[in-house]
A and B are shown apart, each in its own frame.
Chain A
Amino acid sequence: MIDRLLDAARGKVDGADALWRREEQTAVSFESGRLKAAGISEEAGLNLRVVAHGRMGVAGTTAAKPDPKELVARAGASAELGEVVELAFPNPSPQSLTPISTFFDRTANASLSELIRMGRLLVERLARPDCQVNVAVQREVADTAVGNTAGARGEYRTTGFAVTADITRIAGDDVLMVYDQYVGADMPSDADLEALVRSVDTRLTAALKIVTPPDGALPVVFTPAGLAAVVLPLEQALSGKTVLQGSSPLAGKVGEALFDARLSIIDDPLTPGRPLSRPVDDECVPSRSNGLVERGVVRQFVYDLETAARAKTQSTGNGRRGVFGKPHIGYTNILFRGTNGGAQLAAPLHMLGGGLIADIEDGLIVDDLIGVGQGNVISGAFSHPVGLAYRVQRGEITGRVKDAAVAGNSYELLKKIGGFGNDGRWLGARWSPSLLLEGVSVARR
């Protein structure tokens, strides 16, 4: 399909690149402990970008039998209004692509009954009196092909597997929700499922007792799940796009030590077994691992072809595109680690706090915040009510706190990190351990 499309574009435009993706999914869902639905979905789409008379345009379609001429004409019309760009479509040799494992046969072939078996196992293991358990299990196979008129071609298959489990416990007017997930390119082992059960169970058990929240500027352990609000500003600021636009606080700071000297941030599309890993990006740029912050020092930003051309630099292989719209910058697998690499799963998941609470006189463990991403994110300032948080007193978890809000500024807090937990893990496309941050504002009613 890609070849036919690029052939149709040749001669009509200065250059073009395209992505074709076909995805096929099977999913089962358990609601309140019982299997309620099974579903499949199949989707294929084609995205074309052209440069015509120096201007860029895009077009996409989910039509079953796309007409290459129509798509080229539509992209051409889009280019008539488009900006002038100096895109150099890359043509890497196929040998320059790093082979990585993104496809697992047993996941691709996992049967409906296997999905149901996993779901049942989780439902049984998580069942508690007066608690509602929801579980969803999903497998996916995706075929991706990318190409451009410079002659580059890339093709790969990926599998993905996601298991989510949540427990809702309502006691009077108290609503407690605990959630965790397994996401990988391969299906989970029984040990992975067991870890999921223990993670949910530990956090539920520690939450049964409600205690008064503390207030003031306090030490707070952000678990890998709770950390989202703290790292989101950095993810925005390290994007080459916000740097170009002048809205990134990190613009012009390459080479400066702005963070704790143990903190490194890496975008790595080559991690084996992750669903977002890929040998080549969606613009035919070979994948490579990029150190964005190294030992506290800002090293580089992530770029796609267009922003790289505008910034007079090279794409970092972070081009991402959907069926509709133009390619944009996207992270792949992003890792937040301490100097020693952060021992992966050195501590069992059921140790809340990653071994960081022993010296806390009075503080919090924050596992979930509400409204993350809705404020003035890029400024680094955040302020959120807690969704799930625990009070720590004299080195021990004393119970769950409600009706409290935490606030701070990521850039300030990450200058000095009180400790990196020994509980590093993947959560979707992000890997991090728990972090102990000092002086986080905690307000209570």
Chain B
Amino acid sequence: MKDRLATAVKQSRAGYTEIRVERTWSSAVAFRGRRLETATVSEDQGGFVRVLNEGYGWGIASFTSLDELPAMVARANELSRAVRLDDPIRLAESAPHAGDAILELDGDVRGVALAEKKKLLDRYNSAMLAVSDKIVDTQSSYRDEVSEVWYVNSEGTSLYQLRPEVVVSGTAIGRRNGNIEKGLESIGLRKGWNSVQSFENQFRVVAQRAVDLLDAPRVRGGAYPVILDNELAGVFIHEAFGHLSEADFVYENPQAREMMTLGRRFGKQVLNVGDNGAAAGLRGTLPYDDEGTPTQDTPLIKEGILVGRLHSRETAAKLGERPTGNARAISFRHPPIVRMTNTYIAPGTKGVGFNDLISDIKLGVYACGAFGGQTMLENFSFTAGWGYMIRDGKVAELVKDVVLAGNLFQTLDRIDHIAGDFTWNQMGGGCGKGGQFPLPVTEGAPHVRIEEALIGGDV
């Protein structure tokens, strides 16, 4: 395959040409309540060509018929030449890489019978249903894939990557009359069959929580000191700050560049943030990004000061910085754009734990788990799965509908304590941007305290 792509690249008349071909083997099982929804095996395959000519823009073609490859290269070249540019697009230097990058399959999912996968998910699904007769519905899904990705460009990069992925998730719906609550568990790893075998207890816990939330009051809206648990703190840093560190937001926008000037203070001394696509076995982990650049650990905030951002080759060239291996596409159907990988808040002082963070809070909220988050750059939302009130330095009653309304500049600067209990999230969701969803990413964080944050709700 590499040779076939190399030949097509050679025949291209464009200044720069890259070809990505993917073949993804996947299987999926889903339950809804006690009923099996589906158990299927699929194969998806296709190609992506992107070319650039001096003084012209990008020409792009994506297709499922690989027989069309040479024609698609020619077509992409025509498209590029239809886009005249005064200010040419440059790509930052990226040393050519050749070779195979085979990630650890950890139990090759292609060798496990579909019936076994159904049995595993049935176990987790049944664990949720068995918790209470108030669990009226569940949505459980198992999905695995092994994706083969070939990437060749006209600068000599030629790569074959094998990327595994496995996701098990379950939603338990608790209901009492008109009152409906949910609990959500999700495990997603860039690993295989062996890594998802022992999660019954987690599924039981979320179902119990859906039941418990039926009796919980809604949180009262207002400004509170808020402690984020590890999972939500991770989602928080992804939404609140991560998206702004993606250089495609600033590279052609002078005002945004000014706002995101390296060296600007974003937080207190305790705050350290980064993005690490090279960390082992996590959902956002990749040896190379979709432009053939090796991934790395990129510091973004050091002791409260903005020190870096995430780049593709194009954004790096424009800003005179180095590519960071963050150009990613969800599939051959899309061009690579600047995305996060595994984004983290680094741990604070060793030995500092959750109790140290709450001891001086008279009235506050402990926000836990994540249903999701979304950013509009300056402002963002993140939805906790559940929460507790903190009263007089102690965790008090369970509350529901905990949604934090954040403002980047105010919220980051109000992080005043960070615990030492760092963990990586292993959630199976994904990130959406520019019509590309879900991109596998994850986050990591310790418990984090925000002096004051706005929580929505009845006032």
Contacts and interface: CB of A to CB of B under 8 A. Distances in A.
Interface in A24-45: 28, 31-32, 34-45
Given A43-B333, A385-B381, A443-B221, 4 more contacts: A35-B84, A36-B85, A78-B39, A386-B379
- 9 A-B pairs with least C-beta separation: A405-B456, A385-B405, A39-B60, A371-B381, A374-B372, A443-B221, A175-B378, A170-B255, A37-B58
Nearest to A218: B459
B41 A77 contact: yes
B454 A385 contact: yes
22 contacts: A35-B57, A38-B58, A38-B60, A40-B61, A40-B79, A59-B42, A60-B42, A61-B42, A168-B256, A173-B378, A216-B459, A245-B136, A324-B42, A371-B372, A374-B371, A381-B218, A385-B379, A405-B454, A407-B401, A407-B403, A443-B222, A445-B223
Contacts of B59: 37-39
Nearest to B37: A326
Contacts of A39: 58-62, 76, 79, 335
Given A63-B45, A405-B403, A41 B62 contact: yes
B182 A132 contact: no
A44 B403 contact: no
Nearest to B62: A41
A372 B374 CA distance: 8
A404 interface: yes
Interface string B133-148: 0001100000000000
Interface stretch (B27-35, B103-111, B293-301): B27-35
Contact of B454 (A170, A249, A374, A443): A443
B401 A59 contact: no
Interface string A57-90: 1111111100000000010011011110000000
A: interface residue count bin = 35 or more
Nearest to A369: B381
Contact of A36 (B35, B57, B452): B57
Interface in A374-421: 374-376, 378-379, 381, 383-387, 402-407
Interface in A140-180: 168-175, 177
Interface of A: 28, 31-32, 34-45, 57-64, 74, 77-78, 80-83, 112-113, 116, 130, 132, 168-175, 177, 215-217, 241-242, 245-247, 249, 323-326, 368-376, 378-379, 381, 383-387, 402-407, 441-445
Contacts of A77: 41, 114
B259 interface: yes
Contact of A64 (B67, B114, B182, B376): B67
Contacts of B456: 383-385, 405-407, 441, 443
Contact of B64 (A44, A246, A373, A387): A44
Given A37-B60, A384-B456, A132 B252 contact: yes
Given A77-B114, A402-B407, A443 B253 contact: no
Interface in B121-166: 136-137
Contacts of B372: 371, 373-374
A241 B139 CA distance: 12
A52 to B, nearest CB: 13
B44 interface: yes
Contacts of B380: 370-371, 385
A406 B221 CA distance: 9
B64 A43 contact: yes
Interface residues of B, number: 90
Contacts of A242: 137
B392 interface: no
A388 B204 CA distance: 39
B175 interface: yes
Nearest to B250: A170
Interface string B258-294: 1100000000000000000000000000000000000
B46 A62 contact: yes
A326 B218 CA distance: 37
A42 B63 contact: yes
B11 interface: no
Contacts of A116: 82
Interface in B373-418: 373-383, 400-401, 403, 405-407, 409-410
A438 B303 CA distance: 46
A78 B292 CA distance: 37
A93 B290 CA distance: 49
B356 interface: no
A35 B114 contact: no
Contacts of A442: 459
Contacts of A443: 221-222, 405, 454-457, 459
A246 B38 contact: no
B459 A370 contact: no
